[in-house]
Amino acid sequence: MRDEIDKTEDFNKKLRDLEILKEIGDPSVNVIVYETIDSTNTEARRLLERGMKPPFVLVSDYQSAGRGRHGNTFFSPEKGLYYTLVISPKDMSAAIARTTIAAAVALQEAILETAGIECGIKWVNDLYLNGKKVAGILCEAPHQKSGPERIIIGIGVNIAQKEFPAELEGKAGSLNCPDLDRNRLAGSLTKRLLLYCENLRDPHLLEAYRSHSFLLGRQVSFLYNGKPVSGRAVSINEDGNLLVEGEDQTYVLSSGEVSLSLWK
């Protein structure tokens, strides 16, 4: 009997395309599952070059060369969720401004739905829990010589990781949910993300992003023209830029790293 239970539990924890599709509820979405891949975003580029048509989803147990923003690596141990959705946006200008916002909101809501855990969004593209980063987002718009434009939405989630490389100690964390059904999480995330990406100019999307942000109203620090600056994060504008009220001016940040001056 114990062996049967172990097999059942192992089955439930595996990523399976049919289980994810069942959660998505849209047979037009192609789902591909990998045990290991260099990077789901990199693989998405390869599949686009071979002619695969969006929307399609890639998920993997492990990444050997996960990528983050600014060329950084993304630590991708086994049994996380490493995920990419590729779409063909109808409104490219809105997609460039708001796809990362849509991904952050969709992921925050999907984690709450499937794990019962409420994460906070750290502008511009990370989810945090208990002061540590548990998920990251990388959106890319690969150059197309011809044909419709595409957006690649990459997401990595630390599900139950307890040990991290020395450089990430104290900075990275996990949902600490070893029993989380990653198929449900991937399906819920995809369903929400497809809906939001069809309605990127909906004001409720930006409202949700603001409401889940843990930076607004707090003192933050950042580099501006190479110099350290601090101020109070006051808003996120229609283009997704962070507005920070400094001593002498209000800064409009479109990218970059922002840190809380005090976490508590």
Q: Residues 109-127: pLDDT tens digits? A: 999 999 999 999 999 999 9
- Supply the pLDDT for residue 165: 74
pLDDT tens for 90-111 read 999 999 889 999 999 999 999 9
Task: Please check whether residues 206 and 248 belong to one and the same domain.
Answer: no
* From 10-19, 48-57, 247-256, the region with the lowest mean pLDDT: 10-19
Task: Please check whether residues 12 and 53 belong to one and the same domain.
Answer: yes
**What domain range includes position 242?**
219-260
Task: Please check whether residues 144 and 37 belong to one and the same domain.
Answer: yes
Task: Please check whether residues 170 and 233 belong to one and the same domain.
Answer: no
- Cα distance between residue 38 and residue 262, in whole Å: 36
Task: Please check whether residues 162 and 187 belong to one and the same domain.
Answer: yes
Average pLDDT, the chain: 88
Task: Please check whether residues 144 and 204 belong to one and the same domain.
Answer: yes
Task: Please check whether residues 116 and 166 belong to one and the same domain.
Answer: yes
Task: Please check whether residues 56 and 153 belong to one and the same domain.
Answer: yes
CATH code of residue 169: 3.30.930.10
pLDDT tens for 217-230 read 999 999 998 899 99
- Supply the pLDDT for residue 203: 93
The number of distinct structural domains making up the chain is 2
